[in-house]
Amino acid sequence: MRGAALAHTVVPRGDSLTVVPPGLYIHHPSSLEHDPREQLAEHPDTPERIAMVELAMSAHGWLGYELRTASAAAEDALLRVHSAGHIESLREMACGGGGKIDDDTFVGQESWQAALHAAGGACDMVRALLAGESRAAFTGLRPAGHHASRDTAMGFCLLNNVAIAAELAMAQLGVSRVLILDWDVHHGNGTADIFRRRDDVLFASIHQQGLYPGTGALSDSGSGAGVGYTINLPVHAGADGELWLSLLEYVILPAAREFAPELVLISAGFDAHRLDPLGGCRLETEDFAQMACQVRDFADGIGAPVGAVLEGGYNPEILADCVVATLAALAGEGESESIAPDPVFTARAAAYVGHHWTLEL
């Protein structure tokens, strides 16, 4: 288990003692340059989201996290996930001054550099985690990634940052199994698509049913060799933290324990918060902290590091509070608290997921 909350720990490495920070916070100035409001004035994905998060983190002394600047993703890292055509069209659109991909996804002149660094930061994160430089890390970067599939940018997402990082971990860093937990209120359709035929990535998502992009049915558990390795847990509008935590504790984490990942990645969106303007769920800030406690303790129990990448969260002040609470928990603050399983929705979800994994409900 972790040492004292938020303290730097000294661990033996080789013959010397190394000071390990409680976490790494990876960011880049290009995240503040990508601004879809240049093309749609009321767009909710604003640079202020990142500015508010950084203001709050700095007011908390960055929670002891070590700040790092993201590098740009290498072309080969992008090509493990995306087609050459997709990469080229994004680059050309940005270099040509920008353009519209769909009704809510835009590319500006600065967007290519922002996307490259959002993906590159996620790659930096897994490299550092797997080198033992910290047990937890977060990328405070945008644009987000979980809606982007191999050939398609959509839902504010250009490149699929979490998928690019997972593929790098498996291709170059000796990792055999990755858990991707997506707790954004929207279904991570891009990530699900990219890995739906694979049995080396367990993709588990809790999301609001009927919300954009409309995918992620409970009955969709992946395809081919990947059947069972996609866990979709849609919840109704108005679902609260108790239901989300129940699904995490009684469905996702037992399956993940059996899967035994060597790396845990979180697609950390915070738009399931009750004060988010896009989502319709009712999570409180503390619910995100509790989800992070649960994931931290699970990962500690199996010796896997945890990396979180920022996805959604469109009330900048609330987003900032949620990120601080989540990163404090990932660094060791707070305790996991077991709750009673939700009798209806969790039991129904477990009936599906229990076809593939041993659940105790």
Nearest to Zn ion of 23, 216 (CB atom): 216
CB of 292 or CB of 310, closer to Zn ion: 310
Which residue, 134 or 152, has its beta carbon nearer to Zn ion?
Answer: 152
In the complex, the smallest distance separating the C-beta of residue 234 from Zn ion, rounded to whole angstroms, is 14
Of the pair 62, 183, the CB lying nearest Zn ion is at 183
60 is catalytic: no
Residues contacting residue 321 through CB under 8 Å, at least 6 positions apart: 56, 285
Active-site position among 117, 147, 207, 356: 147
CB of 191 to Zn ion, least distance (A): 12
Least spacing, CB of residue 213 vs Zn ion, in Å: 10
Q: How far apart are CA 192 and CA 216, in angstroms?
A: 8
- In the bound complex, what is the minimum distance in angstroms from residue 74's beta carbon to Zn ion? 27
CA atoms of 26 and 287, how far apart (whole Å): 24
Binding site for Zn ion (CB under 5 A): 184, 186, 269, 271, 312
CB of 185 to Zn ion, least distance (A): 5
Residue closer to Zn ion by CB (options 184, 262) is: 184
Instruction: Of 177, 350, 137, 355, give the one whose Cα is nearest residue 249.
Output: 350
The residue with its CB nearest to Zn ion is 312
The catalytic residues are: 147
